[in-house]
Amino acid sequence: MNKVLLGLVLGAVLGAIDGATAWFTPAVRFEIMAIIFYSTIKGLIAGVLIGFFARKVNSLPLGILFGLAVGALLAFAVALMPDPTGQHYYVQIIVPGSLVGLIVGYATQRYGAAPATTPATR
Amino acid sequence: MKFLSDRALERLRDATDLPDLSGTHYRLLERIARGGMGVVFTAEDERLQRRVALKVLDLPGAAGDLANRLIREARVLARLEHPGIVPVHDVGTLADGRVFYTMKFVEGHRLDQHIESVASTPDRLRIFLRICDAVAFAHARGVLHRDLKPANIMVGPFGEVLVMDWGLAKILREKNRIEARVVDPGQTIVEKQNRSFESDGALQFSAITQHGMVMGTPGYMSPEQARGDVEHLDARSDIFSLGALLRFLLTGNPEAALAPSATRMDKSLAAICAKASATLPSGRYSNVSELALDVSRYLDGLAVAAHQETVFEKVGRFYRRYRFFILLIAAYLAMRVLILIFMRR
Amino acid sequence: MIQEEFPSGGDRFPPTRRSVIEAVRSIDAEERESALEALCAAYWRPVYKYIRLRWNRAPDAAQDLTQGFFVELLERELLDKFDAKKSRLRTYLRLCVDSFVMNEDKAGRRQKRGGNIPHVALDFSAAEEELGATVIDPTKIASPESLEEFFEKEWVRGLFTLAVEELRELCIARERERTFHLFEAYDLQGNEKISYEQLSNEYGIPLTDVTNALAWARREFRKIALERLRELCGSEEEFHREARVAFGWDAK
């Protein structure tokens, strides 16, 4: 599986899981489907961006940092939106979102198949 | 007649051992090794100003069995241009009648001496894969090595691996099948029959090995080779030797079973060794590429064709291959639980 | 042919002489005698020294026994029983010597045998001096392995001595006496400290001449020694084996 596709799939799956854990917050439980949907989209976008980065830059530390940054940024954008009561959930959204970005960054660097022109390394 | 002291005898032996390089463009440097049929020296190629290895027969006579064998070895090497096979530069006859050939001088250590400095199994396996590359290339050119063993593998200072000593090589695809002669007492194990004589137009040989002539090295020699069944030797005979070589790389002994305390991962290596060195050729890998592929798959943490994994072994291998990733996911989930607990408070 | 493809850089190897094993069985008396001479020339020294050491005979008795042995070798056609596939010629001869000495003891014969082997000069006094110059541990000589080793070493010494003599004659015939002197000085005298430069200065010749002369002499010596050895072997395999022993190839 190439790096972009791996990032897309992993980002979407982890994004969906990330969104689903919102069920444990009763205040937002009623809109769980929307949360899962938008979290999946966020994860997908992050995954594609991180996958493209991994395609261009072959460096595990940089890939992890980039994933962390993209995940944090997108999660921050989501965390800026308050719930109907006006409460923000910065920690609950940004920390897991950053970690998802980190995981996708690692996976795309470590497991994604490089493009054909890139020489294989052992 | 003057009495020759013991010291004089030694000096005469040393002096007459040196090849007479007059009439050639080589300058003798030093002796480096002695093989079954001759000596290997280093020499300076004065035309190209480079150091070469010069292999010269002990006995003179360009038309004898040994000479034919040495020249044949040079010609086999000349047709095998591969980074893992030592290249031959020149072949000829010296002023003293001895046949010689020159080849690339390889600085480094024999594999049996080098292996102590290679601690990790993956590094040893990578060396093995490079040996497989060279042997697979030779097989593709219709040449069997027939004497693969650690002493015939050199490892250079930059990690280059070279397969040496093709003196027992067999060419499979000549118009008239040509087989190596057994004249070398250092390598011959058993002689069961007298030699018969035949010659080929392109490569002169004075004898063809008939059924019953044995050559090779115990421990690395396939059963069919040990029986002297030379007519039925094929690439799988070298694969047997590669299996023994792999065993040596992993245990230090070509015939040892892998350690009883082997982990599930080592079971794959044990299975690869067992398949490569199966008693019957039909039970072995059919070519070197298959063997190399299995070793590569092992290095990549994938299932190997030689070993049928149980479900537990598959799970274990999957875990080991993706261990860090799995731990990251676990960390993520743990972090999620912590946040939840924190929120509930 | 490989010889045509790879022409020799120097002298061609001379044609192989017939093996003494075959020649000594010839119906031609002259050929038989010639073969016996060659055999005797190569083996009388080791046989004499062996009898002296192994059987502890006085020089006079050892001389008689040595000459008697070679006469018996011819008269009883002992070489007819030799099988090259089963043993080396020198091992066979050594065992024949043992049998001969034991039989002579049993028969109580002490009569002096008349004359030398035709055309072979047996310089027993020189051999006796050589024995004195050889360092032998009497306590170790008794074991079969050490006897075989001793006989082997003396056989090599005898072979090389003959080859050196033949080289000397060749150098004289080709007016290369200086070449032989250089060879003698550098390779025969066992002086570790001598150098090519010293010889060049001593003889007033360029260094390259010393190098070339020694190379030529060694090449010829090797050729002669191998040719002599080939005559004394019963088969090609034996020749290869004995060449390895004579030139110490397995020990290096």
Buried b (16+ CB within 10 A) or exposed e, B186-196: ebeeeeeeebe
Closest alpha carbon within chain B to A10: B329
Place A102 in a pLDDT band, splitting at 50, 70 and 90.
very high
Least Cα distance to A75 among A46, A109, A36 occurs for A46
Nearest to A18 by CA among C47, B340, B171: B340
pLDDT by residue (tens digit) across B226-246?
888 877 788 999 999 999 999
pLDDT band at B203 (very low <50, low <70, confident <90, very high): very low
In a domain, B328, yes or no: yes
CA distance A118 to C226: 62
Reply yes or no on whether the pLDDT at B303 is more than 60. Answer: yes
CA dihedral A16, A18, A22, A28 (to 10 degrees): -70
Q: Is residue C130 part of a domain?
A: no
Percent of all residues in chain A with a pLDDT value above 90, rounded to a whole number:
43
Q: Between C139 and B205, where is the model more confident?
A: C139
Residues in chain A, how many? 122
Average pLDDT over residues C163-191: 92
Mutate to test the interface with B, among A14, A99, A110 (most CBs of B within 10 A): A99
Contact C223 B60 (CB under 8 A): yes
- The rounded Cα C48 to chain-centroid distance in angstroms is 13
What CA–CA distance (Å, rounded) separates C218 from B32? Answer: 21
pLDDT band at C136 (very low <50, low <70, confident <90, very high): low
Residues C143 and C252 in one domain: yes
Listed range (C47-51, C59-63, C110-114) with the worst mean pLDDT: C110-114
- If asked whether residues C174 and C250 sit together in one domain, one would say yes
H/E segment holding residue B135: helix B121-140
Q: Are B312 and B318 in contact (CB under 8 A)?
A: no
Domain count, chain B: 3
Based on the fold, state whether residues B268 and B131 are members of the same structural domain.
yes
CA dist., res. C176 & res. C168, Å (int): 9
Domain co-membership, B318 together with B263: no
**Residues C110 and C170 occupy one common structural domain:** no
Q: Do C144 and C247 belong together in one domain? A: yes
Instruction: Report if residue C252 sits inside a domain.
Output: yes
pLDDT-above-70 percentage for chain B: 83
Give yes or no for a contact between B283 and B275, defined as CB atoms under 8 angstroms apart.
Answer: yes
From CA C238, how far away is CA C91, in angstroms rounded? 12
Query: Inter-chain contact B335–A122, Cβ cutoff 8 Å?
Result: no
Write down the residue that tokens 């070895």 correspond to.
B73
The answer to whether B46 and B35 have CB atoms below 8 angstroms apart is no
Contact C/A (≥3 CB pairs under 8 Å)? no
| pLDDT computed for residue B309 by the predictor | 87
pLDDT at B263 (0 to 100): 43
Taking an 8 Å cut-off on Cβ atoms, the answer to whether B11 and C187 are in contact is yes
C9 within some domain: no
When the pLDDT of each residue in chain A is averaged and rounded to a whole number, the result is 86
Residue ending a domain, among C89, C124, C159, is C124
Which residue type sits at B296? S
Mean pLDDT for the stretch of residues C24-53:
85
Same domain, B147 and B282: yes
Facing residues of C205 across strands? none
Backbone phi, then psi, for B161, in 5-degree steps? -115, 125
Same domain, B169 and B49: no
Helix orientation angle between B323-344 and B311-321, rounded to the nearest 10 degrees: 80
User: B279 Cβ partners below 8 Å, 6+ apart?
Assistant: B223
Q: What is the CATH number of the domain that holds C21?
A: 1.10.1740
Give the model's pLDDT for residue B211.
39
Residues B148 and B261 in one domain: yes
- Rounded to whole angstroms, the Cα distance separating B39 from B13 reads 13
pLDDT for res B89: 92
Chain C: closest CA distance from residue B219 (Å): 22
The residue among C97, C124, C151 that closes a domain is C124
Which residues in chain B (44-83) have CB-CB distances under 8 A to chain C? 58-63, 66-68, 71
Chains B–C, number of C-beta pairs less than 8 Å apart: 133
Residue C145 or residue A9, greater confidence: A9
Report the number of distinct structural domains present in chain C.
2
Give the pair of three-digit tokens for residue A104: 């996708």
Contact of B153 with B124, CB cutoff 8 Å: no
CATH number at residue B17: 3.30.200.20
- Is B193 found in the same domain as B329? no
Task: Tell which of B73, B104, B135 closes a domain.
Answer: B104
Same domain as C149, residue C120? no
Query: Which of C161, C215, C218 lies closest to B1 in CB terms?
Result: C161
Question: Domain limits at C237?
Answer: 139-252
Question: What range defines the domain where residue B96 resides?
Answer: 12-104
Residues B80 and B43 in one domain: yes
Structure confidence at residue B209 as a pLDDT band (50, 70, 90):
very low
Extract the tokens encoding A81: 């939106």
Please tell me the predicted confidence (pLDDT) of residue C6: 46
Question: Is residue B239 included in any domain, yes or no?
Answer: yes
Q: Which of A109-118, B322-331, C170-179, C241-250 is modeled with the greatest confidence?
A: C170-179
Q: Tokens in use for B104? A: 């690339």
Within a domain: B114: no
Does residue B327 sit in the same domain as residue B216? no
Assess whether B212 and B294 both reside in one domain: yes
Specify the amino acid at residue A26.
P
- Residue C158 belongs to some domain of the structure: yes
How many whole angstroms separate alpha carbon B238 and alpha carbon C205? 57
Interface contact flag, A14 B335, Cβ < 8 Å: no
Taking residues C114-122, report their average pLDDT.
60
Separation of alpha carbons B127 and B161, rounded Å? 7
Q: Please, is A19 exposed, middle or buried when counting C-beta atoms within 10 Å of its C-beta (0-12, 13-18, 19+)? A: buried
What is the reported pLDDT for C1?
33
User: Do A40 and A47 form a contact (C-beta atoms < 8 A)?
Assistant: no
Q: What is the pLDDT of residue B204?
A: 23
Q: Which residue of B has its CA nearest to C16?
A: B61
* Distance in angstroms (rounded) separating the CA atoms of residues C189 and C187: 6
Question: What is the dihedral sign for C-alpha B191, B193, B197, B203?
Answer: negative
Quick: pLDDT tens for B61-114. Answer: 756 777 888 888 888 888 899 999 999 999 999 888 889 999 999 989 999 889
Measured CA to CA, the distance from residue C126 to residue B115 in angstroms comes to: 55
Domain boundary among C81, C101, C124: C124
Residue C76, CA atoms < 13 Å, CB-side half-sphere: 12
Residue B163 φ then ψ, to 5°: -90, 125
Higher-pLDDT residue of C122 and C204 is C204
Single-letter amino acid, residue C201 = N
Interacting residues of A81 by C-beta distance below 8 A, sequence separation 6+: none
Q: Which positions ≥6 away from C226 have C-beta within 8 Å?
A: B59, B60, C243
Residues C152 and C237 in one domain: yes
CA-based nearest residue in chain C for residue B61: C13
Please write the tens of the pLDDT for every residue from B118-158.
Answer: 888 999 999 999 999 999 999 999 999 998 999 899 999 88
Burial A68-90 (b: 16+ CB within 10 A, else e): bbbbbebbeebbeeeeeeeeebe
B174 touches chain C (CB under 8 A): no
Residue C6 lies in a domain: no
The model's pTM: 0.70
A&B contacts, CB < 8 Å = 35
What percentage of chain C reaches a pLDDT higher than 90?
32
ipTM of the complex model: 0.81
pLDDT mean over C133-150 = 67
Q: Are residues B234 and B270 in the same domain?
A: yes
- The count of other CB atoms within 10 Å of the CB of residue B140 is 14
Q: In the predicted model, what is the mean pLDDT of chain B?
A: 81
Question: pLDDT at residue B188 above 60?
Answer: no
Give me the pLDDT at residue B170, please: 82
CA pair distance A109, A114, nearest whole angstrom? 9
Measured in degrees and rounded to the nearest 5, phi and psi for residue B91 equal -150, 145
For residue B168, CA distances in Å to B72, B216, B293, C237 come to 10, 8, 27, 19
**pLDDT, tens digit, 9 for 90 and up, residues A27-85:** 778 888 988 998 899 889 999 999 999 999 999 999 999 999 999 999 898 888 877 77
List, as own/partner pairs, every contact residues C163-171 make where C-beta atoms lie below 8 angstroms and the sequence separation is at least 24, other chains included: C163/C221, C163/C224, C163/C225, C163/C228, C164/B1, C164/B2, C164/B4, C164/C188, C164/C221, C165/B1, C166/C224, C166/C228, C167/C217, C167/C220, C167/C221, C167/C224, C170/C220, C170/C224, C171/C217
User: What pLDDT was estimated at residue C56?
Assistant: 85
pLDDT of residue B276: 95
Residues β-bridged to residue B50? B45
At residue B265, does pLDDT exceed 80? Answer: no
SS (H, E, C) A48-100: HHHHHHHHHCCCHHHHHHHHHHHHHHHHHHHHCCCCCCCCCCHHHHHHHHHHH
Residues B159, B231: one domain?
yes
- Between B252 and B110, whose confidence is greater? B110
Q: Residue B257: its pLDDT value, please?
A: 53
B170 and B139, same domain (yes or no): yes
Mark yes or no for CB contact A103/B324 under 8 Å: no
Residue corresponding to tokens 């897991």: A96
**Interval B260-279 mean pLDDT:** 76
CB contact under 8 A, A95 and B329: no
Res. B205 pLDDT band, cuts 50 70 90? very low
